[in-house]
Structures are given as structure tokens and as C-alpha cells.
Amino acid sequence: MKRTVISILVILVSVQIAVISQDKNINNAGSDRPALVIIDIQNQFLPMVPEQEKGIAMYFINEYISLFRKMDLPIIRVYHTSPEWGPHPDSLNFQYPEIINIEPDDPIVIKNFSSSFKKTDLDKMLKERNCNTIFLCGLSSVGCVIATYFAARDLDYNVFLLKDAIMSHNSTYTDNIEIIFEALGYEAVKYILDQAK
């Protein structure tokens, strides 16, 4: 039963991507290269996340990083800071935890607002890499992740949340976001990336 539901979901998502990709209003018409965007999983903010949710999300974020890296697809790191509240870019609190398998060459976006697109180079980075499909993970599922999701939609990107790879201060809120926004699981994402080759 579970496999049937997953198969139906994968087919529906594939059809949705195909339809969206044919829309002539898409900024990056003719390209459908996916990118992984990891949002704000910084040492400053991780303590607010329940331990079980954090453990699951960190595991899956690394799995997605590995998947995108194997397929030679962009992995973009987003970091939040505020001139008033920090964390300061030179501090340990600003950094991602060492357990996350990022590499020095993974592009970095530093933001001061909830949306990863607002007053940053994220849109430019994605266009330079011919990406019009983005997969979002990180935190907070009820804050910066959702703000980035809607900003991406406004910019005509195909955008998806990654199930079990987003988190917030409240696991119930995260579960609801995953349901409302039809977050994709690992197998569905792998299938989509295979089709995008």
C-alpha cells in the first residue's frame, strides 16, 4: 500500500514538473537543472529544535547532499545573520555543525531577512547554474524555509520542500508544513533527479 501511494505521488510530481517546465512564463525556460538549497542550519539556531527532529533532519540533509553531489548538482548553503542580533559571520554560532557534509566549494548566500532571495545573490547564482528547480531543506520550516518557498514561487522557480529534512521549534508545526506543502521524500526526489539527467 505504501509503495503504491509513493508511486502515485512520484507520478503526480513528475507530471507537475513537466507541465510547469513547459510554461512559457518560466524565467529559465529551456533548463530544468535542480539545485539543493540548505537554509540556516547554524549552531545559533539548532538548539531551538527538538532533539529527535534535529537528528532525523540532519541525517536526511546529509543524504540529500550526497545524492546531489553524486549527480553533480549544485548545493547552495544559506546563512542568516542580523547586524543587531547576529550571529556574527566570524563566530562559531554562525557556522553549520561539523556533522553536515558541506564542502568549501559549495556556494554561500548570507541573508538578513527570512527569504533567502531578499537582497541576496541566490537568484543570480541559480540562473548562472541554469537551475529552475530547487529543493529546500533546513530551518525553520515555519519561518525562513516557507518565506524562501514563496519567494521562489514568485520568481517562477519549481520549488519543493524535502520531507524529514526541514525542522522548527515545534515538531507538530513541521509535520503540518510537510503535509500542507506536500513535501517530497527521498525516493521521490531521487526519481525526479534521475529523470532530470
Cβ-Cβ contacts under 8 Å for 14 (sequence gap 6 or more): 191, 192, 195
State the number of CA atoms in the 13 A half-sphere of 190 facing the CB: 11
First-last CA distance in the chain? 29
Q: Given a cut of 70, is residue 69 above it in pLDDT?
A: yes
Spatial contact of 136 and 159, defined as CB atoms under 8 Å apart:
yes
Task: Catalogue all structural domains in the chain, each as residue range(s) with its CATH number.
Answer: 2-195 (3.40.50.850)
Predicted confidence at residue 51, as pLDDT, reads 95
Select from 152, 160, 155, 191 the least CA-distant residue to 177. Answer: 160
pLDDT in tens, 74-120: 999 999 999 888 899 999 999 999 999 999 999 999 999 999 999 99
Predicted confidence at residue 31, as pLDDT, reads 56
pLDDT in tens, 130-178: 999 999 999 999 999 999 999 999 999 999 999 999 999 999 999 999 9
In sequence order, what DSSP letters do the residues of 67-109 get, joined into one string?
HHHHTT--EEEEEE--TTT---TTSGGGSPPTTS---TTS-EE
What is the side-by-side order of every strand in the sheet holding 108-111?
Answer: 108-111, 75-80, 33-39, 131-139, 158-167
3-state helix vs strand vs coil in the chain, percent to 5: 45, 20, 40
Q: Mean pLDDT in the chain?
A: 88
549544485: which residue's cell? 74
pLDDT in tens, 12-39: 444 344 434 434 333 434 457 999 999 9
Predicted confidence at residue 22, as pLDDT, reads 39
Spatial contact of 40 and 78, defined as CB atoms under 8 Å apart:
yes
Q: Three cell numbers at 170?
A: 515545534
The dihedral sign for the CA sequence 181, 185, 190, 191: negative
Residue 136 forms beta bridges with which residues?
37, 161
